[in-house]
Chain A
Amino acid sequence: MTITRTLLCTAVAAALAAGAAPQASAQSIIAMTRPGNFTFGPALVAVPIAPGVFQTPAFFNAANQRFIVSYTAECAVAAAAGNTSTWLDLTIRVVNLGTGAITVLPPTVGGADAFCTSNGTAADDGWVMAAVNAVGGAGLPAGNYVVQVQAALSGAGTGHLGDTSLIVWR
């Protein structure tokens, strides 16, 4: 009796343990890196994501299918000495190749999302490796898309984005 009860409990426990480990996984669709540095003034510019490349290869996305754009870059902002509030605003957007519609992916919408900020010295220093995960897909129709990255400064100064990576995954 004891053996039967023990066996039963053990079987149930084993079944629960086996069922509690679902196989969930992500897959990368695009992976690009860029060595070297890219320097720009305060105005909005297109940011290279690879040597000589300013947008990703095209990929298909079903209607409302979520995808994530992970972008990392070594970042610095040089502004006037004492200025600790000029930031580099990054914009990650997708272009629907069929319609030409452009969608900026949150949280990079608007100009108030600082990727990195001036550190109070006028020199090109204070480098950090910054990152953002932009989320896309909700509300987008099925189609072929490319990803582009843009950057601007919130004030006078010089922005730097170097040694970057861009991964599109779902």
Chain B
Amino acid sequence: MKQALGWIERGVVALLSAAIGWTLGASQHVHPPQAAPQPSLAGAGVLRATQGWSVMSYPQPPGTAAAPSASPSPASVEAACPPRATPQERTQWLNAIREGDESTRIDGLLKTRSAGVPLPDDLLQTLFENDASERVRLLAFENYLEPRSGSVEGMRQALQAALDIPSAAIQADARRRLSQLAELEHNDAAHPQLTQ
């Protein structure tokens, strides 16, 4: 009987421990919506985030930040990490890119880039083919080219296709890049990497 009670006691303890641990762990993974890094001159939100203790934070001049504690709290470590874009922020940025004025569209493109949020190809293509702003077209074009960087043929096809776009700026940019690509191919062919 005593042995049975012992087993029951252990079982109850194990179940309760699991429940408590799961509850506490789950509560840590629920992040409240955070403000995205604002591409403004102040950048105060991001600066504030880097002042906590973290191996990723800058050394702060004496007196400007709290001294590192021996056992940093999880909250302070998390605050030092870059805030991730929430789905709401992504939607806002996409709407700004689609519907905003020129500076808003540029701002949206740079914000998504800074937050590590990739934009869909069809949106970028629409922008660099049709946008009224030359700056937006060029910014969208370089974003469109980035994922094609690993393939010479993929890059060449994208650049050649851009030659047909009725935009002098995009055509000039594509021509310049095609010329540089040809030079690089010539350079590569002149110095082949040989095996013995």
* Contact A29–B116 (Cβ < 8 Å): yes
Q: With contacts A14-B21, A22-B78, A138-B58 known, is A52 near B178, CB below 8 A?
A: yes
* Contact B150–A33 (Cβ < 8 Å): yes
Which secondary structure dominates where chain B touches chain A? helix
Which of A142-170 touch B at CB < 8 Å?
A: 142, 144, 158, 160, 162, 169-170
* Contact B149–A50 (Cβ < 8 Å): yes
* A-B contacts, CB under 8 A, total: 187
* Contact B20–A29 (Cβ < 8 Å): no
> Which of under 10, 10 to 19, 20 to 34, or 35 or more describes the interface residues of A?
35 or more
Which secondary structure dominates where chain A touches chain B? mixed
12 A-B pairs with C-beta separation under 8 A: A15-B20, A19-B74, A27-B115, A29-B113, A37-B188, A52-B155, A52-B181, A58-B142, A124-B191, A124-B194, A127-B193, A142-B41
Which B residues contact A (CB, under 8 angstroms)? 9, 12-13, 16-17, 20-21, 24-25, 28-29, 37-43, 45-47, 50, 54, 56-58, 73-75, 77-78, 80-82, 84, 110-111, 113-116, 139, 142-143, 145-146, 148-152, 155-156, 159, 177-181, 184-185, 187-188, 190-194
Q: Which 7 A-B pairs rank lowest in CB-CB distance, beginning with the nearest?
A: A62-B43, A50-B149, A52-B181, A18-B24, A27-B116, A14-B21, A52-B177
